[in-house]
Amino acid sequence: MAKKILILGGTADARELAEALAADPGLDVTTSLAGRTSAPAMPSGTVRSGGFGGASGLAAHLVDQDISLLIDATHAYAARMSTNAAQASAVAAVPCFRLERPPWLAREGDDWISAASPEAAAAVLPAKARALVTIGRQQIGPFLARLDITVLARMIEGLDSKPLAPHRIMLARPPFALEDEVLLMRTEHITHLVTKNAGGEITSPKLEAARTTGVQIVMIERPDLPDLETARSVEQAIAIAGRMLAGGGYGP
Ligand code: NAP
């Protein structure tokens, strides 16, 4: 019988991993999405949507569905889901690992300010700043509350209500080309780029564009996550999945 894998998704890497694993007839792959995006990009294999009801709900799901392997491929900032995954794995005795891209690192000559949270990032922007804020819609509130700065908030899905002037929302889905990022920063006279440290190449051109145009970067740091074995690429994740499914153990 095919072995069941549950991927906690919501990222491009999770989709790529699901596609690779679902091609194996010996595996039955389900990706779980939080269910907050109205038209998410759909992964290969089975897709389920919505929360599990905390770590205990996820542990019960792992047992009920006879899952052999849990892969936390959520975004590096989805800290609650990652914590739940580690706890549920221990309770249900189902092996688990994380797929998380390495973070971006500042290069020589980069002008980065580190911020511990979106609130801290919003507070650090100087009056009159013109900020391109690329952190999605869920935590945009503290930026839109600052009426002494101008925010251009780029996100995939819009807000329920229009922000107060001078702020604006820009709907767009990655990838973004370097020349478009440079053009955007120049035409909008951007002084600050606010971003999470997602890592990877899909959205990294904005960092290069900031370098080129002299825009200061406010980098919201990754949250602390439970100590789990971590794949840094989809290829590594496929190898770890193979080992864990073969009974090769798991742990930090
Ligand atoms: P979060 O704060 O860590 O999770 C909050 C709750 O949402 C979880 O406790 C869980 O509910 C539910 N949930 C989260 N991810 C889920 C998944 N893949 N499948 C089923 N339920 C899920 O998560 P978040 O930061 O809001 O992220 C939500 C989703 O968006 C994730 O899939 C993540 O990969 C994706 N995403 C997040 C970011 C970001 O910056 N945070 C960026 C890009 C994509 P229960 O406790 O009820 O199970």
Q: pLDDT tens digits, residue range 62-118?
A: 999 999 999 999 999 999 999 999 999 999 999 999 999 999 999 887 889 999 999
List the residue whose alpha carbon is closest to atom 39 of ligand 1: 77
List the residue whose alpha carbon is closest to atom 13 of ligand 1: 34
List the residue whose alpha carbon is closest to atom 43 of ligand 1: 75
Which helix (H) or strand (E) segment is 152 a member of? strand 150-155
Question: For position 37, what pLDDT does the model report?
Answer: 86
Question: For position 108, what pLDDT does the model report?
Answer: 83
Question: For position 248, what pLDDT does the model report?
Answer: 58
Distance CA 152, CA 66 (A): 46
Rounded mean pLDDT, 182-201 = 97
Query: What is the whole-number distance in angstroms between the Cα of residue 42 and the centre of ligand 1?
Result: 16
Rounded mean pLDDT, 19-33 = 97
Helix, strand, coil shares of the chain, percent, nearest 5, are: 30, 20, 45
Quickly state the pLDDT bin for 250 (edges 50, 70, 90): very low
Q: Tens of pLDDT along 127-165?
A: 999 999 999 999 999 999 999 999 999 999 999 999 999
Give the CA angle between residues 22, 20, 177 to the nearest 5°: 130
Whether ligand 1 lies within 6 angstroms of the CB of 136 is answered as yes
**In terms of pLDDT, which residue wins out, 249 or 24?**
24
Rounded mean pLDDT, 198-223 = 96
Question: Minimal CA–CA distance to 140: which of 220, 24, 235, 246?
Answer: 220
Q: Long-range pairs for 128-132 at CB < 8 Å and ≥24 separation?
A: 129/191, 129/192, 130/188, 130/189, 130/190, 130/191, 130/192, 131/190, 131/191, 131/192, 131/193, 131/194, 131/218, 132/184, 132/185, 132/188, 132/190, 132/192, 132/193, 132/194, 132/206, 132/215
Checking if the pLDDT of 252 tops 50, the result is no
Query: What is the whole-number distance in angstroms between the Cα of residue 74 and the centre of ligand 1?
Result: 7
List the residue whose alpha carbon is closest to atom 46 of ligand 1: 54
Whether ligand 1 lies within 6 angstroms of the CB of 62 is answered as no
Atom of ligand 1 nearest to the CA of 81: 3
Checking if the pLDDT of 249 tops 80, the result is no
Q: Ligand 1 pocket: which of 80, 89, 134, 157 to mutate (most atoms <8 Å of CB)?
A: 80
Rounded mean pLDDT, 6-28 = 97
3-state secondary structure at position 169:
strand
Question: For position 31, what pLDDT does the model report?
Answer: 98
Q: What's the mean per-residue pLDDT of the chain?
A: 95
Checking if the pLDDT of 242 tops 80, the result is yes
Rounded mean pLDDT, 234-247 = 96
Question: For position 39, what pLDDT does the model report?
Answer: 85
**In terms of pLDDT, which residue wins out, 245 or 1?**
245
